[in-house]
Structure 1
């Protein structure tokens, strides 16, 4: 009788292979560098760069240098974050299963999003406007009463939640349809990302440790 790989059997094999996978320090370095770049990017907006932000020391787009800095960043840095999130999503889904995967995303993305949306967004606006002489706490409360809420920079958390739910729905439909599972590494392996994670890994002095 011929051996048949069912989706569940392949997933079990993939889970066993992922148990002792070590971290890719090169990718960790990329994530740290991109996070720092996000901080510098938004700080630049307040001092003459281009973009929307809560507070400005200089008028919007008043510094050509910072405008160029923001424009170059916008062309790639959030794309890198989404690329990394997509790279780790299949492995996380296989390891945790649908329910735990979605619950984990809701806790890690949904709770920070709700906290910022209803509490920290109006508080940040209040801080930016407190320099006009109004009491900070009263201004904050007035903004909450007025319903001045928003995702602010956590718009990306909304996008990641949508992508995660779409991925879980797609995997569930594929499993129920009886489609054979394909190795995560075959679809989303480091080789598909090109040489840059390994290059960063080497240049930061972590290779071989």
Structure 2
């Protein structure tokens, strides 16, 4: 499942050039989220949900439930922060041209190279007689053609197109969100409640109608039906904050939000615990049915939304609090984070393929090995790719 200026969605995932309102906490948050993506993919084979390895560990289920409930939505939020000033500075057409280079080109390249390389590891396990060229051709011509984590790129590009259209209609369209952000410098709880209400209103109906596992799929273009509007709300909340005065609003380094970071932790833990309660009800009382009742989907969607917004505020508050604390461990990786996001998936899956036969190793050993090596190899490969002339314009 599953971005990104300097992380995956570290595509800003494709962030606009640094503006005066930008602060280092946002770059560090993006880099942190990129590592969370790699962690998610490193542990998911050893969970109840993924379980593509004979070993498992419940602690990894706890990680996957948390990460899957917020990290892609947060990537869209961070990606939206620089959209409005980018369009204002370059104009809609030039802005979209840059985004096509930054998002569209990597999507096409990855769809034809990175994704087939990644999923060939699954094919080799079940059909070792099929060579890569035959597997590649069948994927491209017959399907299925999964997108892996790169679905984020085309969806983000689609949101950018919508943002440009809205900007042409009215450059002031997102001003109410910006005013709410300015108010949020002193009263972040108000912004939190509004964002929670809006995201819930857009997510809950889709979750009830489509359920959790329904995906739109057309070739390598895919996205979860029930979450696409959730992602859109996060993106445009970010865009509204970034309209102007970002350094004086909700994301101000000296604002109220950064001073109450542990409150956000409590707000995140309660719905997270309730999601586990609902999962237990589904498995032990409802019998884990394929079609869940509407009341269940609605209750889970409420908890999911509350956790997602609260963990967003918690992470932002943490990085805002320590924005001026000198160098961060994430700083060295910032320039390479987008590339790491793009190339890591086949590395992660092939490492899991290699570790599969080490039956004596528990999941608590396999997953850390896979994570550390995925980070190291992805970073090294990205560094090498960025040395190619012109590659830094994309990576």
| TM-score, L = length of structure 2 | 0.40
What is the SS of the residue equivalent to 2:163?
A: helix
Post-superposition shift, 1:154? 1.4
Alpha-carbon deviation of 1:98? 0.6
The answer to whether 1:26 aligns with 2:25 is yes
1:200 to 305, 315, 322: 322
The aligned residue for residue 98 of structure 2 is 104
**Larger Rg computed on CA atoms:** 1
Distance in 2 separating the partners of 1:129 and 1:76: 30
Determine the structure 2 residue equivalent to 1:76: 70
Unpaired runs of 5+ residues, structure 1, are: 1-17
Paired residues, number: 181
Change (3 A) 1:107 1:87: same
- Kept in 1: contact 2:167–2:173 (CA 8 A): no
Distance 1:49 1:90, change over 3 A: farther
Calculate the aligned-residue CA RMSD, in Å: 3.1
Q: Which runs of 5+ in 2 are unaligned?
A: 1-16, 183-239, 252-256, 259-316, 329-395
1:160 to 156, 162, 174: 156
Q: Per-residue deviation at 1:110?
A: 1.1
| Distance in 2 of aligned mates of 1:31 and 1:153 | 16
Q: How do 1:173-192 residues align onto structure 2 when only pairs under 5 Å count?
A: 173-174=169-170, 187-188=240-241, 189-190=246-247, 191-192=249-250
TM-score for both structures, normalised by structure 1: 0.72
Residues 108 and 49 (structure 1 numbering): CA distance in 2 closer, same or farther, change over 3 Å?
farther
Q: Is the contact made by 2:46 and 2:53 (CA closer than 8 Å) also made in structure 1?
A: yes
Q: Determine whether 1:50 maps to 2:46.
A: no
Q: CA contact under 8 A between 1:41 and 1:73: conserved in structure 2? A: yes
- Check the 8 A contact 2:104/2:157 in 1, yes or no: yes
Structure-1 separation of matches of 2:18 and 2:113: 38
